[in-house]
Every structure is written in C-alpha cells, then in structure tokens.
Homo-oligomer: A and B are copies of this chain.
C-alpha cells in the first residue's frame, strides 16, 4: 500500500466542483477544497496553478481533439467544411457528459472570474485552430476568421446543448448554428 491515496488530482477536481456548486465559487476557500480531498492547500497549488484552473482540466484535451480533426479533414475541403468536420468529431466526445457539463457550466455562469478563464481557454483554442488551418495552407486572415467563426458556432451550439430541457445530441445543434452562420455571412 502506498503512502498516499491515489488520484489526488482527480479528488481535488471533484471536491472543487462539489463545493463550488454547494456554496458558490467565491465563498469556497482553497483550504476547504483541499480538506475535502484529504490534502492540504499547498498540495492543491502543486496540481493546479490557481483556484480557477481546477475546473478547466479538460480544455487541453478538447483543443487536441479539435486540432486533430482539422488535420484529418479531407485534403480538398474548404475552410468552413474543415470546421464543420471538426465540430462533428468534437460533438461525439460529449455524448454522456451532459450532466457533468451542466453542473460545471452552472458554476461558471454564476461567476465572472470563471467566465474570464473560460474565455481565454477558448481564445487559446482559437489560436490553435488558426495554426492548424494555416499549416493546411490557408492564408491569413481567412485562417483566423475561419477559426473564430467556427468557435462562435461551437459556443452557440454548446450553449444550447447544455440548456435546461434540451435533449438532442450535440451535433445537430452544431449543424443548425453552422447553417445560420452561412446565412448571416451571405448577407441575408
């Protein structure tokens, strides 16, 4: 038997989400999170850079997924179709995660600091997408705009997917948002 319980990082993330849900982000101290996870405050900061980051562990994974999907799109695809393919691939991964996503999103929506962190994660994702598109030979500013527009679609689709009462899977919602973007940009 090892000296410490395993999965310290996961225990911290779980404790944090619980506490943020129960009494709100601001009224939760890092010491409380650590205590619930059976650890100390100092150890929390060894696993997560700050009190917000504990909610954003999945961001890197999402970014990798997006980039991989862009890389895997057919050679001949137009920028907007590459983005569509990436959105479809990413949508698959969220199957069975709606309950967790709703809980997490409720916490984030209730606090401006957490929204800031979410926005910068999305901005990093946008930059990674832009890079991936440029590596496929798409020039600026088309690469940036495609990434930005694609993420706008993702945000709106995700927002609807986690909305209370919504039960459709993610991909159809993404497809709807994408169609709306095409219409708007065409000048309708």
Contacts and interface: CB of A to CB of B under 8 A. Distances in A.
Interface in A96-145: 112, 115-117, 119-120, 123, 141-142, 144-145
A93 interface: no
Contact of A187 (B80, B148, B155): B80
A78 to B, nearest CB: 5
Interface string A155-188: 1100000000000000000001100111111111
A39 interface: no
Interface residues of A, number: 33
Given A152-B152, A188-B78, A145 B115 contact: no
A59 to B, nearest CB: 14
Nearest to A182: B185
A149 interface: yes
Contacts of A156: 141, 144-145, 148
Contact of A115 (B123, B177, B188): B123
Nearest to A159: B144
A63 interface: no
A104 to B, nearest CB: 18
Contacts of A120: 112, 115-116, 119
Q: Which 9 A-B pairs have the closest CB atoms?
A: A185-B185, A148-B152, A116-B116, A119-B119, A141-B180, A116-B120, A145-B181, A145-B184, A78-B187
Interface of A: 78-81, 112, 115-117, 119-120, 123, 141-142, 144-146, 148-149, 152-153, 155-156, 176-177, 180-188
